Amino acid sequence: MEKDRGKFLTVMCAIGSIGAIQSLYGVIDPDIFTDVYNIIPIWFPVYVLGIAVADLSAIVGILMLKKWAVYLLFAQMGVGVLVEYLILKPVEIHLLVIISASVSAALWFWAIYRKWKYFE
């Protein structure tokens, strides 16, 4: 059986990589997040770097159609939501953050679910 990643999953990976690379700016200048969060902890740049590396690793793995990458991506999303709400606590845009995280997870799930038979 020939493995076909499909256009939608490929586009999701491309957009995800751009977002992960763009988030690295938070390592250089964590103050850009002060509009969203009241207080930025001292460990925040290391956290952003770790999340970006996890995202990029998961995206490369998904491009190679590896199941571990899917598990890594969804684990990272779960950790991100927990850290955001239990530790960082967004200032005024709780609903927007919840909606965007939910839509992102749903799109990833749909893109991967359609091609799951090709993952090893």
Q: Is 1 within a domain?
A: no
Q: Is 44 within a domain?
A: yes
Which pLDDT value is given to residue 63?
94
The number of helices, as runs of H, and strands, as runs of E, in the chain is: 5, 0
Q: Is 47 within a domain?
A: yes
Has residue 1 got a pLDDT over 60? no
Determine which helix (DSSP H) or strand (DSSP E) holds 76, and give its type and residue range.
helix 67-83
The secondary structure of residue 90, as a DSSP letter, is B
pLDDT tens per residue, range 88-106:
776 666 677 778 888 999 9
Q: Is 99 within a domain?
A: yes
Q: Is 2 within a domain?
A: no
Q: Is 16 within a domain?
A: yes
pLDDT tens per residue, range 42-84:
888 888 899 999 999 999 999 999 999 999 999 999 888 888 7
Q: Is 65 within a domain?
A: yes
CB 59 within 8 A of CB 20: yes
Nearest to 120 by CA among 55, 71, 56: 71
Q: What is the count of structural domains for the chain? A: 1
Q: Is 48 within a domain?
A: yes
Q: Which domain holds residue 103?
A: 7-118
